[in-house]
Amino acid sequence: MAIIGVLLAGCGVYDGSEIHEAVLTLLALDRAGAEIQCLAPDMPQREVVNHLTGEAAAETRNVLVESARIARGNIKDIREVSAADLDGLIMPGGFGAAKNLSDFALQGAAATVHPEVKRLLRDLVAAGKPVGAICIAPATLTKALADMHPEVTIGADLATASVIEAMGGRHRVCTVDMIHVDEKLRLVTTPAYMLGPGIKEVAVGIDKLVAEVVRLAGS
Amino acid sequence: MAIIGVLLAGCGVYDGSEIHEAVLTLLALDRAGAEIQCLAPDMPQREVVNHLTGEAAAETRNVLVESARIARGNIKDIREVSAADLDGLIMPGGFGAAKNLSDFALQGAAATVHPEVKRLLRDLVAAGKPVGAICIAPATLTKALADMHPEVTIGADLATASVIEAMGGRHRVCTVDMIHVDEKLRLVTTPAYMLGPGIKEVAVGIDKLVAEVVRLAGS
């Protein structure tokens, strides 16, 4: 049974992991017979956003602690996880993937990737293990692997795509029901809520992404 | 197109809505072609639980604001929603359904249901509109409708079942892949994470529950 990591970044689209994308990933992995290992960095969130108003809130929350809400408490600090522990990894989207796992949402092409995230992503790729990234997470993935010129999709947003290219990545336009596969680096990406419009459409792309990551993990 | 309310109680299994159950409900409703209206009470959470440690945290969070994380901001205060606005309603589980929507988790048979929750549930039943309740939410539903002797399932937990009976309800044992339907009151219930063991099993019962609520809403 493949062990697939799910790298979370908090709990909520505006300051953490996009909840629907994360849960759809867990559902598809469980249905595929994979063993799931949730993980997240133990760090303060870049910010806390009131999801009712969309405004920043004067609060502090921890990425690992909030991610544990999605994982029902079954989660590890990314520091405790090495590439040898996993057969593949998936990063759901949401602003947390570009605010906490890196600062792409703030710094664009000059982004810095969280060192533990960068370490795990590069070790997985070096070991030939597949990495899936959903929604905006491919931007952080691109920055982590910039010297390898990863080929990814974040959908059809040309501004974001041009920043991905500026970081050294190659962007491919996809619709929400599609995945893009970088065969060389074994990366699988899908636009999800970068395009929407709703959960049932997002599920189509995520189901395909999970199936491909699990297939690559076993081959 | 049926308009189905999804009554949330926060964001996280230990102090709010169980996230997987809530997202699986949204997914099944969207796939069934229903229009979704998320709603929650505007009130402080009974408590905030650190989902990494399971311990109470010295924080205050608002049920409506945290529920908005699951709803991606698209949510209404339950005070603004009447039975006439909906064709049916579904309550996901999680401790929030028994700590915020009522205080069943603390008071047992002596529980009090949040007045707006009680009002909406009773108005829906009086209008012949279906109500679905998942996991522990049937306990709150039972208390709200105690004088009507609702027939529900929370799975096979005999202690909880006996409290449901003590409140005036009638409990029916079900497995996680089953639903129980109270044909007279048009209530649909499923055990979900009261039994588990995992998200794919929970999804089977929730898919059936959603299909039955949507069917009843149109008949």
Global ipTM: 0.98
pLDDT over threshold 90, residue B219: no
pLDDT band at B1 (very low <50, low <70, confident <90, very high): confident
Question: Which one-letter DSSP state was computed for residue A100?
Answer: T
Instruction: Determine, for residues B52 and A75 on separate chains, whether the beta-carbon distance falls below 8 Å.
Output: yes
**In this predicted model, what pLDDT tens digit does every residue of A50-97 receive, in sequence order?**
999 999 999 999 999 999 999 999 999 999 999 999 999 999 999 999
Per-residue pLDDT for B79 more than 90?
yes
- What number is the average pLDDT over the span B157-182? 97
The pLDDT assigned to A219 comes to 79
Confidence (pLDDT) at A22: 99
The residue-averaged pLDDT of B10-25 equals 98
Q: What are the tens digits of pLDDT across the range B132-166?
A: 999 999 999 999 999 999 999 999 999 999 999 99
pLDDT confidence of B9, banded at 50, 70, 90? very high
- Taking contacts as CB-CB distances below 8 angstroms, the residues of chain A near B11 are 11-12, 19, 69
Q: Do B203 and A68 lie within an 8 Å CB cutoff?
A: no
Residue B42: what pLDDT? Answer: 98
Q: Residue A87 has what pLDDT?
A: 98
Domain count, chain B: 1
Of B186, B173, B184, which is closest to residue B214 (Cα–Cα)? B186
Tokens standing for B15? 């102090």
Q: Which residues of B are catalytic?
A: 135
Residues of A in contact with B65 (CB under 8 A): 50-52
Nearest to B52 among A50, A52, A65 (CB): A65
pLDDT in tens, B80-96: 999 999 999 999 999 99
Parts of chain A with a pLDDT under 70? none
Residue A102 is part of a domain; what is its CATH number? 3.40.50.880
Nearest of A184, A183, A179 to residue A207 by alpha carbon: A179
**DSSP letters spanning chain B:** --EEEEE---SSTTTS--HHHHHHHHHHHHHTTPEEEEEE--SB-S-EE-TTT--EES---BHHHHHHHHTTT-EEEGGG--GGG-SEEEE--STHHHHTSB-HHHHGGG--B-HHHHHHHHHHHHTT--EEEETTHHHHHHHHTGGG--EE---S-HHHHHHHHHTT-EE----TT--EEETTTTEEEE-GGGT-S-HHHHHHHHHHHHHHHHHHHT-
* Strands in A16-161 per DSSP E: 35-40, 48-49, 56-57, 75-77, 88-91, 131-134, 151-152
Phi, psi of A161, rounded to the nearest 5 degrees: -60, -40
Chain A residues bordering chain B (beta-carbon distance below 8 Å): 11-14, 16, 18-20, 23-24, 26-27, 30-31, 50-52, 54, 64-66, 68-73, 75, 198-200, 203
What pLDDT was estimated at residue A194? Answer: 97
Q: Nearest chain A Cα to B15, which residue?
A: A69
Residues of B in contact with A68 (CB under 8 A): 50-52
Domain that holds residue A10: 3-217
Chain B residues within an 8 Å CB radius of A19: 11, 19, 23, 69-70, 72
Q: Are the C-beta atoms of residues A217 and A129 closer than 8 Å to each other?
A: yes
CB–CB of A26 and B20 under 8 A?
yes
